[in-house]
Structure 1
Amino acid sequence: MKNYPVASRRAWIIRHAMTLGTVAIIVVYAAFIQWVWGWQGIVSLWNGAGWTSALIALALLLCTYVLRTWRIYDYFPKETGGHFGTLLRLVQVHNLLNVMLPFRTGEASFPLLMKREFGLPLARGTSALFVMRLFDLHALLAAAGTGFALETGKAWTWGLWLLFLILPAAAFAIRKPVFRLAAKFLPSRAEKLVEEVEAGLPFDAWAFARAWGATLINWFTKIAVLAWVLGLLGDLPIAAGFGGALGGELSSVLPVHAPAGVGTYPAGITAGALAFGADAGREALEELGRAAVNTHLLVIVSSLVGTALSLFAARPKKTG
């Protein structure tokens, strides 16, 4: 005879294994912070920087979520028109899943959610997400490069930065011959990928300009806020602050992302700050570690607060 309560319990554990694993890792992370620095030592950094600064940073990060939603709203005007609140909630849920789930597994939720809420075909949602992620990666690197250019203050660094900044515009301008060339020389198995990338691009130059501009503003704001926070809490120079922000965000963009960014996000901040000239002395590293953990916590809190606020934005749209 089967033991149904035990079987039901096992099935529940299997269904929620990833969530339970994420919660367990967060608990271990909290214990690790307490053991290494102590939560009082972590939170006390804001006493010196000022809690008003923390609220300003949180508000600016929340604004980036609204801008990110507008980009998708403008990307799919027919499907999402008149339902900005529903889309805001969708974007926040997608963002929270990306933050909490490991190895970018949360990305899969975007095309699924877009199909459920707005009836968008999975192929189009996936291809558009891929293109938007390319925009994001470029804007992230361009935003971080601003700190390096500001630190050096030399004309050649600004020149290189400007050339890198306009790469997407140049690529969009020559997209048609590039896609034709790719279809001609790439193996047949890659043709489908090329078609999906082309289908995910904005419809015309004006739509591209809006999507590209929104992406740049979004990432420049986020990287600047994180660099500012790192400078406040870790006493970092401009370049190191931007490098730390870049390192943290790259750790979440690339497929090496631990659940909730536990360990990987602060490590990315530390590596990026050191690569951009932060002091590698023992005391400076300890201060940088505390600042990195605080910055990571700010990102998590902003995701949780943004998701909670978006729940009041609108009722989900029901599709046929």
Structure 2
Amino acid sequence: MNSDTDASRRPWIIRNRVSLVTVAAVLAYGVFLQWAFGWPVLVAQFRDIGAGPLSLALVLLVATYVVRTWRIRDYFPAETKGGFRRLLRLTLVHNLLNIMLPMRTGEASFPLLMRTEFGMPLARATAALLVMRLLDLHALLAAAGLGLVIGPDRPVWAWPLWLLFLLAPLPAFGLKRPLFALARKLPERLRHHVEELHRGMPVNGPAFLRAWAATVLNWGVKVVVLAWVLTLMGVHPISASFGGALGGELSSVLPVHAPGGIGTYPAGIVAGGLSFGAAPTAAFLAILGKAAVNAHLLILLSAFVGTGVAMLLAPAVGKR
């Protein structure tokens, strides 16, 4: 009670400092884009692509959020039974906060929202989020590794090494039971928290495989769509578009993340494109830089559109 009162007495600028930093970063980014490219030039590139392809790309990107929602629904079938629309809204709100808040502080919203909406203990939801983020990172790294091993000049051991990495989550999950069995020797108070963490993990092998398959589907669709859009924007060869899409998405799951992905997401696209065969010439870097910015704007637009749709379709988080 006192802590709430003390918090309300803090200066407004202190209480809203994170939001203010985000808004300031977005405004500064808009000014920078006008100086670097000019908004008419960026808008013209979208216009050149056409409403049809852009609409299809947006629909597919928003569909990946539905896949993420299903993954959580399948992860906690009893706790979220009958609440898919509410869970969809929760997923999209969490995604938007995760994008817009700096240094991945938006991740903290997931366990809080799960507790508010479904009464789930924080430790259980946090454990689930950790597993899902590890699966996300693994899927993206496996996709990046696939791009690296494809080619006639790769060493003979490249494919077996990639396959071992691809299958690594399976034996890692197999360690769950013996590790948590050790928790029985802990004091009762600690054992309760460890048991909640245990409940935040897939209950068995088939559940883990479904979570892994949903992860692969989610990121596969997203990377393919982004690579397609980058190709439409003049990024060639196709391997560079693929690498750019991977680079941007990898930047979004790493701890270093600017508000809204400003700077870090386009930089990830440029770095990925160059790593996968883009020509490092001044002329092509200009094309790649402009395409990276517009691909990032498309990702932000899909997040806002998805959240808007979820708000229309589902009741507010925390309300029945």
TM-score, reference length from structure 2? 0.87
Q: 5+ residue gaps in structure 2?
A: 1-7
SS in 1 for 2:11: helix
Please give the alpha-carbon distance, in whole angstroms, between the structure 1 residues aligned to 2:47 and 2:151: 28
Relative to structure 1, the CA distance from residue 240 to residue 107 in structure 2 (aligned partners, 3 Å threshold; closer, same or farther) is same
Moved more, 197-206 or 208-217: 197-206
Task: Give how far 1:17 is off.
Answer: 2.0
* Counterpart-to-counterpart distance in 2, 1:37 and 1:182: 57
**Which shifted more, 297-306 or 170-179?**
170-179
SS across alignment from 1:279: coil
Distance 1:153 1:63 in 2: 37
Report the 3-state secondary structure (helix = DSSP H, G, I; strand = E; otherwise coil) of the residue aligned with 1:109.
Answer: helix
Alignment partners' CA distance in 1, 2:142 and 2:194: 25
Residue 19 of structure 2 aligns to which amino acid in structure 1?
A: T
Secondary structure in structure 1 of the residue aligned to 2:120: coil
2:172 is matched with which residue? 171
Q: Contact (CA 8 Å) 1:116, 1:319: kept in 2 or not?
A: no
Secondary structure of the 1:302 match is: helix
Task: Name the structure 2 match of 1:13.
Answer: 13
Q: Percent identity?
A: 57
For 1:153 and 1:91, locate their aligned partners in 2 and report how far apart those are by CA, in whole Å: 43
**Over residues 261-291 of structure 1, what are the superposed CA-to-partner deviations in whole Å (9 max), with x where a residue is unaligned?**
1111111111111122211100111110000
| Aligned counterparts of 1:44 and 1:152: Cα–Cα separation in 2 | 39
1:204, distance to aligned residue in structure 2 (A): 0.7
> SS of 1:284's equivalent?
helix
Matched to 2:91, the amino acid is V
Query: Which amino acid in the other structure matches residue 79 of structure 1?
Result: E
Partners of 1:181 and 1:228 in 2: CA distance: 48
Normalised to the residue count of structure 1, the TM-score between the two structures is 0.87
Contact 1:88 1:313 in 2 (8 A): no
Question: How big is the shift at 1:153?
Answer: 9.0
How far 1:90 moved relative to its partner?
0.5
| Pair 1:94 & 2:94 matched | yes
CA contact (8 A) 2:124 2:197 kept: no
1:207-248: CA deviations, max 9, x gaps?
111111111111111111112212221322232222212221
> 2: distance between equivalents of 1:81 and 1:255?
32
Q: Is the 8 A contact 1:148 1:239 kept in 2?
A: no
Q: How far off its partner does 1:198 sit?
A: 4.4
Matched, 1:136 2:131: no
Provide the residue aligned with 2:80 in structure 1: 80
Is the Cα–Cα contact under 8 Å of residues 130 and 197 in structure 1 kept in the other structure? Answer: no
Measure the CA separation in 1 of the matches of 2:33 and 2:288. Answer: 14
Whether the 8 Å contact between 1:243 and 1:273 is mirrored in structure 2 is: yes
What letter matches 1:310 in structure 2? A
Structure 2: distance between partners of 1:317 and 1:10: 27
1:134: Cα distance to partner?
0.5
- 1:167 Cα offset (Å): 1.5
